[in-house]
Amino acid sequence: MKNKPKRIVLVALLFLGPILVVDTSIASSGVSLNSMATDSHSVVRPDSFADLVDAVGPAVVSITTRNSSASKKFPDGIRPSMPGDRRPVPGFQRNPEFEQFLHRFFGPGHTAPTPGPRQGRAQGSGFIIDPSGLVVTNHHVVARADEIEVVLADGRTLPARIQGHDPKTDIALLQIDSDEKFPFVRFGDSTKARVGDWVIAIGNPFGLGGTATTGIISARGRDINAGPYDDYIQIDAPINRGNSGGPLFDTSGLVIGVSTAIYSPSGGNVGIGFAVPAEQAEKIIAQLRDRGVVLRAWLGVHIQRVTPDLAESFGLDKSRGALVSKVEPDSPAENAGIVPGDIILGFDGNTVDRMKRLPRLVASATIGDKVGISIWRDGREITLYPVMQPTGNTSQIAAYSTQRDHGPLNLGLLLSALDHDTRQRYGIGGDAAGILVEQVKPGSPAADKGLKRGDLIVQ
């Protein structure tokens, strides 16, 4: 049997019917939980999370969205059809087994319908963070929505609109269209959450409505290649399709994350879920609340990973930092003197231990501030001070290459460190030092400058 491919699944629930809502009542904000006793041999689980769920449950909502596919472009061979239109659609093949299914359950005369206009539906979760009805959810839950409805814990359905959304962190902020006051929850400090801490996830899996699950934090700082600012909390609390946008609570009833994705070979839960940490979500939500969009600081560099071989070639003690492969013209980086070949080791007092940490650090910088950046250049560390500027619509904060190891730079080069094998293959003496050019892309800036395979870059 062939193994099914594993994948990251965004946990919004698509194309389900009406959802069921579990009614809960508003409880006191005080949450009393039995303490956990630990020793070197055992861990005692809390007797119950019922008081906590009663307290926070009324602020958790289900989200239903609708969008009309009639206005979308149809694939080749598919066209809209009106009711009663039985003409065959070119390229659309009928399935005999499906025809038998229709005949068996609906009687003779029923055949497979031809593709026609329909309304797409999606379901997800969210939580209220303000008595005025501000709701946090995931961007992918509402990204294509023409209509949005929020189902409260008491079963009522209210219309909502998008206040703002940020695709890069998959966070969206909605406003319920109502003048009433709503129960709400508060954010906690996700930076204090530790691996092994208990967590409670509440959401709308498979359209069932309010569902609570528990587990622990399995890991911190996970990068699932969903975007440039990945910094997920990994949990083993079961979350499934439809949990997207739901809150992740600590044992004090504070939100420390926003459930976003699961890792699964089949689309179901296997005990690996991911949540956007509250520390990141709060900053995004504050901007969406104030202006409806997110402004980030811009450095203006393209970066790639520093492999062990490249680290050795540059004289670094180990693989760390972010290698600058390109600097945008008139960017903060260029104005501060950063050049291709620099390795960024630190940003504003924070260590850049791996490449993908830099975009997150840059994005969190304050626009207009002069920021100290630690640079490795010519075998020594220097500090430069760019003034951070806001990113434009098309500008990139700190773009990075998805190539692994010796990935080609934007200059069109494939570089490699000098070792015994490469010295023998290219006839390079033992006293020579530098970085070897192993490939030059035709028509690239490197080719235009006359660089060739086998050249040695020494400065």
d(CA 370, CA 386): 6
Secondary structure percentages of the chain, helix, strand, coil, to 5: 15, 30, 50
Are 453 and 440 in contact by the 8 Å Cβ rule? The answer is yes
Using alpha carbons, select from 25, 44, 23 the residue that is nearest to residue 35: 44
- Beta bridge partners, 175, equal 134, 161
- Straight-line distance from the first to the last Cα atom of the chain, in angstroms, rounded to the nearest whole number: 53
Which two tokens mark 92?
A: 């659309």
Say if residue 118 is exposed, middle or buried (CB neighbours under 10 Å; 0-12, 13-18, 19+).
Answer: exposed
170 is catalytic: yes
d(CA 327, CA 12): 38
What lies within 8 Å, CB to CB, of 118 at 6+ separation is 69, 70
d(CA 450, CA 440): 10
- Catalytic residue, chosen from 166, 170, 230, 250, is 170
**Pairing verdict, β 398-400 and 301-305:** parallel
User: Hey, how many other C-beta atoms are within 10 angstroms of the C-beta on 91?
Assistant: 10
Greatest distance between any 2 Cα atoms in the chain = 86
- Catalytic residue, chosen from 62, 130, 139, 140, is 140
Using alpha carbons, select from 263, 203, 242, 260 the residue that is nearest to residue 15: 242
d(CA 242, CA 235): 16
- CA quadruple 229, 233, 235, 240: dihedral, nearest 10: -40
140 is catalytic: yes
Are 278 and 233 in contact by the 8 Å Cβ rule? The answer is no
- Catalytic residue, chosen from 62, 125, 244, 259, is 244
41 is catalytic: no
Q: Which positions are catalytic?
A: 140, 170, 244
